Amino acid sequence: MLVAKAVVRAYGIAWSPDNSRAPLVSYAPGQAAAVGWVLWEAGKITHESRYTRAAIDVARGMANGQEAGGKIPDTVRFGMNDDRGQDTPQFIPSRASTCAALGLLLTILHDSPQPDPRLRSCALLAARWLSRQQTEHGAWVVQDTTQAQESRVIRLDSPDWRNSTLAMLLASDVLKNQLYSNQAHNAAQMLLDLHLPQSQLVGAGGWTGAYGLDKTPRGDIPDAPLCLDTLATRYCMQTLLASAVCQGNIGALERVHLTCKTLRGIRDADGTFYRYVQLSGRPSEPMGLASPQDALLPGVMHTVEELDAVGLSAYSRSMDAHRGIDYDLARVLSGAGDDLFSSSAANLETMAASLRQAIVP
């Protein structure tokens, strides 16, 4: 059904609820890249060439809309005459769609004995563009919208830092570029330098949602209150787990252990977590913000327990032998899943069903 519902053009395929002749297509995580990745993996399992061909066509569409600098735009006009859409210029452009596209592109390149030169060129340009978005100290910064002047801030309460780092890890392995591995390591090391106020033991090992470039927690951003943010903490834990599993980063794993110890002391009676936890240790809804429980955080803690049971080296080897570490990195990057290194990750059929509901008109 996914293939049958695609918008087909000579330069590629995509999906859109827009029925016009030039529909607006989204390349955000969980959209076209996720469908393409699921189709590629389904083609490998079933040996159905129509699925792998469709996945390549999704990647071809992305390559066609790629901006000159290498960025994959968030949205593209999928017109009959090779129309291209470019994102509105921003002080700090969004990295989300480029990371998602790299999840698909690098998977195809990794699995193809003779990869399409155009897709390889697209992946090389996208990875280079992404690598240049990182500061020399390893930070993935975003625009600070609270300031009148253009300024930068570190935000950890979205998947951006995690996904940008995972994309560098995947690009390093597939494109054989040590620079990208170094950049991923630097991003992980910076997370180790980011803390909550040291006097507040309840937050030991955890993270809040926003930090200044001087690595101090920000308390002046309305949608990122100064408290233990369990969503930001999950994203950071997943980033550090990736650094540990892919690069053998012991310091990253030690920080994850410290975080798990803190989280066990603040979880709800049923094992779930409030989004925001005051530094006094109480759950809260600061500044009127809703604080839903993070359903995936217990799964991350379970992954840590599985890793500890066998040791880091054995766990990394078993992950690679089971389905491949790159598989997990690409799945999360594309937006097909959000549970990195989970033994209970959804199968392809479940992922495909979820994507059909999300993007097929």
Burial class of residue 80 (count of CB atoms within 10 Å of its CB; 0-12, 13-18, 19+): exposed
178/169 Cα distance (integer angstroms):
9
- The amino acid occupying position 60 is R
Cα–Cα separations (whole angstroms), residue 107 to 2, 77, 224, 272, 319: 19, 25, 34, 34, 17
Strands 12-14 and 75-77: unpaired
Cα–Cα separations (whole angstroms), residue 283 to 247, 277, 300, 318: 35, 4, 20, 37
What confidence score (pLDDT) does residue 132 get? 98
102/326 Cα distance (integer angstroms):
12
Q: Which of 71, 180, 70 is nearest to 131 (CA)?
A: 180
Q: What is the pLDDT of residues 198-234, one digit of tens each?
A: 655 566 899 999 999 999 999 899 889 998 999 999 9
What confidence score (pLDDT) does residue 355 get? 82
Q: Indicate the average pLDDT of the chain.
A: 90
Question: Regarding predicted confidence, which is higher, 228 or 163?
Answer: 163
> What's the average model confidence in pLDDT over 7-20?
90
264/281 Cα distance (integer angstroms):
12
- The amino acid occupying position 347 is N
Q: What is the pLDDT of residues 284-337, one digit of tens each?
A: 555 455 556 678 999 999 999 999 999 999 999 999 888 899 999 999 999 999
Q: What is the pLDDT of residues 15-44, one digit of tens each?
A: 998 888 888 999 999 999 999 999 999 999
Instruction: Say how many C-beta atoms besides its own lie within 10 A of residue 345's C-beta.
Output: 19
pTM (predicted TM-score): 0.94
Helix or strand (DSSP H, E) at 99: helix 96-111
Give percent of the chain with pLDDT exceeding 70: 92
Question: Regarding predicted confidence, which is higher, 98 or 227?
Answer: 98
Q: Does the pLDDT at position 338 exceed 60?
A: yes
Cα–Cα separations (whole angstroms), residue 327 to 37, 41, 88, 258, 321: 10, 9, 32, 28, 11
Q: Where do the CATH 1.50.10.20 domains begin and end in the chain?
A: 134-322
Question: Regarding predicted confidence, which is higher, 359 or 9?
Answer: 9
What confidence score (pLDDT) does residue 91 get? 87
CATH number of 134-322: 1.50.10.20
Q: What is the pLDDT of residues 273-287, one digit of tens each?
A: 888 888 876 665 554
Q: Does the pLDDT at position 118 exceed 90?
A: yes
